[in-house]
Each structure stands twice: as structure tokens, then as C-alpha cells.
Amino acid sequence: MKKYAGNKVITISDIAKELSVSKSTVSRALQDHHSISDATKQAVKRLAKQYNYHPNAIASSLFKKSTKTIGVIVPIISHYFFSTVISGIEDVAYKAGYKVIICQSNESYKREVDLVKTLLSAHVDGLIVSVSRETKNAGHFQLFLDKGIPLVFFDRLPVGIKSNSVSVDDYQGAYHLVEHLIKQGFKKIAHFAGPQHVIVAKNRFLGYKAALQKHHIPFDENLVFETGFERKHGAKAAELLLSRDTLPDAVFAVCDPVAIGLMFVLKQHGIKIPGDMAVAGFNDEPIATVIEPQLTTVVQPAFDMGVSAATIFLKKVTEDADADFIEKVHHTALRIRNSSLRLTPNPS
């Protein structure tokens, strides 16, 4: 058997020449194609392993017109919600023979635009994305739609573009949570709201308002503080809240990190939770059960959302990507913990 120098890059042509077969035979053997005999497959794979040969996925895709890759863009990978969605996507994708390229916009519109262009240049077979906090113009995603490449948005859906989507009923989740606070006897309920151009934040704000209206509690815009989605944003809004002459008796935060940022500041100022002020969030991150008191929140089925997004991609990749966009909406669940429970019975 021929020996190659250690610094030589082995190609499919080298393997084909040594085994006296065609390059297409080597390619099919490496893919376990049914037309290739088991003996030839074993010989090709044995030689490929010996020379540490790895097929060029991009180059082979030019022949197959598929890279067997899915691009995924999330705002922040370290968030439990997004990392769990990614797990769901990967679970479905890998079983179907696809690899996943994971990118983080870091809540930057500019970076998101650059990532979209990069993934398009990499010839991914589809894109699954949750838009950044800064994204108000979704025109860059049109590049995928124009080329008939499957596009699936999840959680944070953009405005002004129509495509496949996976979301939860944020409105109902927020409504049921605020209604829980009201039934506990809390009447002056503030809301740490996310940026209102982000659909999930807008829908949670609308759910908050609807619950107040249903129970005949006047809406007070002075009790609404627009924040981001990070713990530091909750802490900053909390300092502003505490600068007021009068305080609410409960706060509903747009997400758990914001709620936890609030709780840290309240504790620093000696404000008891829920004795002086109840707190509730949205997402059910793991830290919600670690802090004291444990945080009341709304559960999003993050893993299932990832499964849904990947399943929609697989369906669309086998048909016209623009036909009959699929919109999957998951239900939420209320998780009641000590941060929202009155320490004394509700007088009403």
C-alpha cells in the first residue's frame, strides 16, 4: 500500500487511484450508498481512516446541492431558554442527518445581519432564528426567502416579514400570572416590560393590562418600566422604582433574569419578598428554584419549541419553502412559588 508524507493533504482522488476505482465510487462508499458492495465500502473506509481523510462538506454539497447543515442564530447562548431550545433543535437535526451551526447575535442588529449573510454564504440548508433586542427591520432575512431556503423564527418573532414560526402564547401566560397576583390580594402591580418593538415583550405587556382590566384595576403607566432582558436591566429598573415616593405591592417582570435582578436590589434595601413586595417572572429558568424565596414564573416548553422548529425545517426542506407557512404556538404553564404568595390571608 502506498505511503503518503505526513504533511500531504489526502484527496478523494488519491484514495480512488490507490484502490483503482472511480472518485464517485469512493464518494458513494463513504456515504454507505446501496449501490456499492460491502467489500468496497470497507476498503475505502479503511484507507480513509488510515490517512485521516475527511470529506469536504462544502465541496460535496456543490454536487449534492445540500450541506446537511442548519444555521441557528440566538440572541444569547448562555441563557437557559435559548440553550434549551438549541438542544431540542439538535436532537431532531442530528437524528435526521443534519449538523447545526450555532451563532450568537449578542443582542446586536449589526451582528445579526452579518451572521445571516455568513450563513447564506456557507450554503446552509435552512435558518432557525430568534431575533436580537435591537432588530426592528427584518429585511436581511428576505435573502433566505428569495432563494427558497427554509426560514423558521422562534420566540422573538420579527415584524414585517412572514415566514414559519414557533412561539408560545405570551399573552395568556402573562394574563394568568398577573391574575394570580391579583387573586393573592395584590392591587398595585408594576410591570418591568421588555422593549415594546419585540413581540414577546409586547404580548406580555398586553396580557398584564388585560388582567388588570378584567379585575377592574386601573392601568397606571407610571407603574410600567421598560427594560431589557438581562439581570442588570432588572437591577437598574429596580433602583428607579425605589426612588419613587410610593412602591407597588407586586412586580411582574418580562423574564426571570429581570425579576432576579429586581430581587437582588430589593434584598439589598431590606425589602422583604413577598412581605413588602411580591415578584414574578417569565421563563422558569433553573435559578428560579435556587434563589430565596423561590420565584413564581411562567413555564415555556423550550426544548419542545426547539423540536418544533427543527421539525418544521425538515418538512419545509422537502417541499416549497414558501408554501403554506407553518405557525406553531405552544401553551405555557403557571408555576407558583413563594415569591408571590401572601404571608397573611387575603382580606377579600
Instruction: Cite the DSSP H helix spans in 11-154.
Output: 12-19, 23-30, 38-50, 57-64, 80-95, 109-121, 142-146
Amino acid in the structure at residue 236: K
Q: How far is Cα 271 from Cα 210, in angstroms, rounded to an integer?
A: 28
What are the b/e assignments for 42-57, b being 16+ CB within 10 Å? Answer: ebbbebbeebebeeee
Name the grid cell of 149.
431556503
Residue appearing with cell numbers 433566505: 144
Residue 224 has a CB neighbour count (10 Å cut-off) of 15
Digit-by-digit pLDDT tens for the chain (348 residues) are 455 545 566 777 788 888 888 876 887 788 776 668 888 989 988 888 888 877 665 544 444 468 899 999 999 998 999 999 999 999 999 999 999 999 999 999 999 999 999 999 999 999 999 999 999 999 999 889 888 899 999 999 998 888 999 999 999 999 999 999 999 999 999 999 999 999 999 999 999 999 999 999 999 999 999 999 999 999 999 999 999 999 999 999 999 999 999 999 999 999 999 999 999 999 999 999 999 999 999 999 999 999 999 999 999 987 655 567 899 999 999 999 999 998 554 554
- Confirm if 288 and 294 have CB atoms less than 8 A apart: yes
- Confirm if 200 and 231 have CB atoms less than 8 A apart: no
pLDDT at position 64, please?
Answer: 46
Residue appearing with cell numbers 427594560: 227
Q: Domain 67-169+301-331, what fold?
A: Rossmann fold (3.40.50)
Compute CA 13 distance to the chain's CA centroid, rounded to the nearest angstrom: 42
Question: Cα–Cα distances in Å, from 253 out to 1, 121, 334?
Answer: 68, 39, 14
Phi first, then psi: what are they for 29, rounded to 5°? -65, -40
Spell out where the chain has E strands.
69-74, 99-104, 126-129, 151-154, 164-168, 189-193, 224-226, 250-253, 278-280, 297-299, 327-330, 333-335
Q: How far is Cα 285 from Cα 325, in angstroms, rounded to an integer?
A: 30
Topology match between the domains 67-169+301-331 and 170-300+334-340: yes
Q: What is the DSSP letter of 1?
A: -
Domain range annotation of the chain: 12-55, 67-169+301-331, 170-300+334-340
Residue 289 has a CB neighbour count (10 Å cut-off) of 12
pLDDT at position 36, please?
Answer: 81
Q: What is the DSSP letter of 155?
A: S
Compute CA 286 distance to the chain's CA centroid, rounded to the nearest angstrom: 16
**Closest to 13 in 3D by CA, of 56, 67, 64:** 56
Phi first, then psi: what are they for 93, rounded to 5°? -60, -50
Residue 322 has a CB neighbour count (10 Å cut-off) of 15
Name the grid cell of 110.
449589526
- Class assignment of domain 170-300+334-340? alpha beta
